[in-house]
Amino acid sequence: MEHLQQAILWLVDTYGYVGLFVALALGNMAVPVGTEIVLPVAGALTATGHLSNLGLTIAVALAGELAGGSVGYAIGRFGGVPLIERYGKYVHFTHDRLLVVHRFFERWGTFAIFVCRFLPVLRGVVAIAAGIAEMNLAHFYLWTFLGSLIFCGLLILLGNALGAHVSAVLPLLHQWAYLILGFVVVAVIAGIVVMRARSRPIRAR
């Protein structure tokens, strides 16, 4: 696993935006690329001038997420559970993890796609599970876009702020990135709940 993540970082460092796109696409097809590390590094490479533009870096990362999510959705839609049962073990996508995602779908509906964008492991396999469930594509892309925009944007901005010092804090980022982003998604969910509660008409007693 560690060797794979080192190879992915080399890919981004060597091939720039093409490498970043490929890394994020693979990360959404159940390949454990370590996006919580790749994204801050991409931000740092932008700060040091290796990548040309911060907005473009975020846009390429988002495009990679959507492209990989599309392939993952197609894999789930047309390959189904038998494909996962046969080949999922090679990318650590077990039947148990598929069940966890389905429980999220039952609990949150299509909004589960947004929630899973911030959860380790599940963010890489949720597109496949959505394909298996034959989720509405408009909802799938909406929540994937919004969740990925926040996830990629924040981690790239963090790496950009750290600049050349990002390598010194990569171990901490690996441990705390998802926790920080977890607080973000909880805040977003809380905000949605509050807005829905306020929008409900008050019934006269």
Question: What mean pLDDT do residues 44-62 have?
Answer: 92
The residue ranking higher by pLDDT, 3 or 26, is: 26
Categorize the per-residue pLDDT at 171 as very low, low, confident or very high, splitting at 50, 70 and 90.
low
pLDDT of residue 23: 93
205 pLDDT more than 60? no
The answer, yes or no, to whether residue 191 has pLDDT greater than 70, is no
181: CB partners within 8 A, 6+ apart: 118, 150, 151, 154, 155
57 vs 63: CA distance, rounded Å: 10
pLDDT of res. 202: 52
pLDDT tops 80 at residue 91: no
For the chain, the distance separating the N- and C-terminal CA atoms, rounded to the nearest angstrom, is 61
What pLDDT is recorded for position 11? Answer: 87
The single residue listed with the structure tokens 């801050």 is 40
Task: Give residue 65's pLDDT.
Answer: 96
Q: How many CB atoms lie within 10 A of CB 60?
A: 22
Q: Is the pLDDT of residue 68 over 90?
A: yes
Is residue 55 very low, low, confident or very high in pLDDT (cuts 50, 70, 90)?
very high
Q: How far is the C-alpha of 33 from the C-alpha of 116, rounded, in Å?
A: 16
The pLDDT-based confidence of 168 (bands split at 50, 70, 90) is: low
Place of tokens 């040091």: 48
The string over 83-104, giving b where at least 16 C-beta atoms fall within 10 Å of a residue's C-beta and e elsewhere, is ebeeebeebebeeebbebbeeb
For 77, the enclosing helix (H) or strand (E) is helix 54-87
Cβ atoms of 57 and 20 closer than 8 Å: yes
The residue that leads in pLDDT, 144 or 133, is 144
| Section 19-25 average pLDDT | 94
The pLDDT value recorded for residue 186 is 66
